[in-house]
Structure 1
Amino acid sequence: MTITISTFYVFTAIDPNQLITEKAWLLDVMKQHHILGTILLAHEGLNATICGEDAPLEACIAAIKARYDCDFRQTLSTHESYPFHKAKVRIKPTLVKLGAEIHDAEQVGTYLSPREWNELLQQDDVVLLDTRNVYETHLGTFKGAIDPNTRKFNHLPAYTLEHLAHAKDKKLATFCTGGIRCEKYTAWLKEQGFTQVYHLEGGILRYLHEIPEEESLWEGSCYVFDDRVAVKHGHAVDREASNCPNCGHTLTAKDLTSEHYVHGVRCRHCDSYPPSNYDLLEQGTTH
């Protein structure tokens, strides 16, 4: 069996008083088409990673687009089985929690396609920032990227003000898993006076889908919020990546050789990153 996985987000106004109704509708359309995965629902739109067989998935996506009178670009991949166990719709106060006020969320940074991204990163005076959390960056990132070592996305504004003030007049290139975190973050950056702000359209997932490994500037694998754990170029599953069942931190093959690792019990990250320190379901969304 081949299962197609669709990752997408869309900003569209939804009446806050109708969120419970919309949750019920989304769950119904997912179950009708035998679709599994997670949709985050807020007054500002949808953020999702869902999966199913090709034709039912296409029908589900078409129904969602018609329901909200919107269009969006998906990042698609395939897997030999369902990477989710249930159909879930979660109502959230916001799709991604930046932790800082944004006055105009539509004034985002300049979108770059994966190939335009490669061209930018070859230029001088570019500050490259990974906006994801430490349990994600542990598995991989772009060559030369700054890792802010954050445990939650809403820690990023404070990090930026403390460590990146020097970059306000430089080219600041940002990236995340699927693109939605950078939508919020780049809008905030522009309000803070950063003048040349860019972000990778479609995020790492689109980059790994479109850029051949021999042309890639990516190193390692990309954490995803489902049973695959992490993917590499072409969205091939990284079979060596896993999660600690105790603290939730990502694990590489090297982590499994640590003297602090006990299979199914704990890992070398447990003391530094207890579960209360971050929320793996924060999900700069589902992606």
Structure 2
Amino acid sequence: MVMKMTNTYPYKIAALYRFVALSDIPALKDRVAAECTRLNICGTLLIAPEGINGTIAGAPDDLDAIVDFLDGLFAVRQGELKYSHASDKPFKRMKVRPKKEIITMKQPDADPTKLVGTYVAPKDWNAIISDPDVVVLDTRNQYETAVGTFRGAVDPKTEFFTEFPDFVQKHLDPAKHKKVAMYCTGGIRCEKASSYMLSQGFEEVYHLKGGILQYLEDVPAEESLWDGGCFVFDQRVAVTHGLKEGTWDICLGCGHPLAPEEHAHEAYEAGVSCSHCHEGLSEERRNMLRQRHNFLIRERGEGTRA
């Protein structure tokens, strides 16, 4: 599925993935890296025997050119491909990495190239998750769910996606939980999670096609069952309905996303700490972060000068 956006912003962003069987990963990595360098693309792409996954950005024409290139190699337009935009450069550099998996789960039975759950289009998602017989699972990590989630969803409170299978084994039972619906940011984690759950005997497994990002693009805010923002892995931090940039930022002490009102917390110190990490920071670490923050302020020319 391809989602397009027209805009006048200087940077165009493509979030993409496709599960597809690949071989000769080192050669593919070198070809992709060379083309990204030629087109001044920034971001990260992961290439593995199970497919390709990543988010990249560049000037609109250059971004379109690299997507054409990737489509020729991986048929990315047959997978998930979402466009958005940003006023500032979203990534500092370009990284193309060969991996064992494009989304790490460490479960050999989870193979989306062979077995996946039932895709649910965003327009049909509200009906699915409003069914009282459906267990709605957020397959993202806890720092992401803190920014926003679907109403009534179960938060596994994982730190890493590799912990999701353990949550399933401890808290879900195919004999009791007949219907399960899952979602994630762009669709890749819930697609792989659906493959895992089917391999474990769950029979009726649904996942949101295109993920939260597609839902926020397609479903009007007044009809939405989504609360908050959707955490994204770039300098925008989070987006809201219509994929508009949100008002969250990142604590430089721990990397936790922060809502504007969290700046008023007594534990918040710009560039140093927040309520999530204040107590665990050593004085040495705190001083180092202060020095870095002050250096960055001077580099940007902010603040007063004598």
Normalising by the smaller structure, the TM-score range is: 0.7 to 0.9
* Partner amino acid, structure 2, of 1:78: H
What RMSD, in angstroms, separates the aligned Cα atoms of the two structures? 2.0
Is it true that 1:270 corresponds to 2:277 in the alignment? yes
Residue 89 of structure 1 is matched in structure 2 by 96
Question: In structure 1, how many angstroms separate the alpha carbons of the residues matched to 2:75 and 2:15?
Answer: 18
Q: How does 1:79-118 map to 2 (within 5 A)?
A: 79-102=86-109, 104-105=111-112, 106-118=114-126
Question: In structure 2, how many angstroms separate the alpha carbons of the residues matched to 1:168 and 1:201?
Answer: 25
Greater C-alpha Rg: 2
Structure 1 residues 5 and 69: CA distance shift in structure 2, 3 A:
closer
- Could you tell me how far 1:190 is from its partner in structure 2? 0.9
Question: In structure 1, how many angstroms separate the alpha carbons of the residues matched to 2:211 and 2:195?
Answer: 16
Q: 1:236 aligns with which of 240, 244, 264?
A: 244
Question: In structure 2, how many angstroms separate the alpha carbons of the residues matched to 1:245 and 1:200?
Answer: 32
* Partner amino acid, structure 1, of 2:134: V
Output the TM-score relative to the length of structure 1: 0.88
Question: In structure 1, how many angstroms separate the alpha carbons of the residues matched to 2:126 and 2:10?
Answer: 31
Residue 147 of structure 2 is matched in structure 1 by 139
Task: Please state whether the residue corresponding to 1:111 is helix, strand or coil.
Answer: strand
- Could you tell me how far 1:90 is from its partner in structure 2? 1.6
Task: Please state whether the residue corresponding to 1:99 is helix, strand or coil.
Answer: coil
2:174–2:203: 8 Å Cα contact kept in structure 1?
Answer: no
Is it true that 1:121 corresponds to 2:150 in the alignment? no
Is it true that 1:257 corresponds to 2:255 in the alignment? no
2:135–2:177: 8 Å Cα contact kept in structure 1?
Answer: no
- Could you tell me how far 1:72 is from its partner in structure 2? 2.7
Residue 62 of structure 2 is matched in structure 1 by 56
Q: 1:34 aligns with which of 27, 40, 43?
A: 40
Is it true that 1:195 corresponds to 2:203 in the alignment? yes
More deviation in 23-32 or 143-152? Answer: 23-32
- Could you tell me how far 1:104 is from its partner in structure 2? 4.6
Task: Please state whether the residue corresponding to 2:260 is helix, strand or coil.
Answer: coil
Structure 1 residues 115 and 167: CA distance shift in structure 2, 3 A:
farther
Greater RCO (CA < 8 Å, at least 6 residues apart): 1
Residue 22 of structure 1 is matched in structure 2 by 28
Q: 2:81 aligns with which of 71, 74, 87?
A: 74
1:176–1:204: 8 Å Cα contact kept in structure 2?
Answer: yes
- Could you tell me how far 1:181 is from its partner in structure 2? 0.7
Question: In structure 1, how many angstroms separate the alpha carbons of the residues matched to 2:110 and 2:73?
Answer: 28
More deviation in 223-232 or 165-174? Answer: 165-174
Task: Please state whether the residue corresponding to 1:66 is helix, strand or coil.
Answer: helix
Task: Please state whether the residue corresponding to 1:75 is helix, strand or coil.
Answer: strand
Q: Percent identity?
A: 41
- Could you tell me how far 1:168 is from its partner in structure 2? 4.7
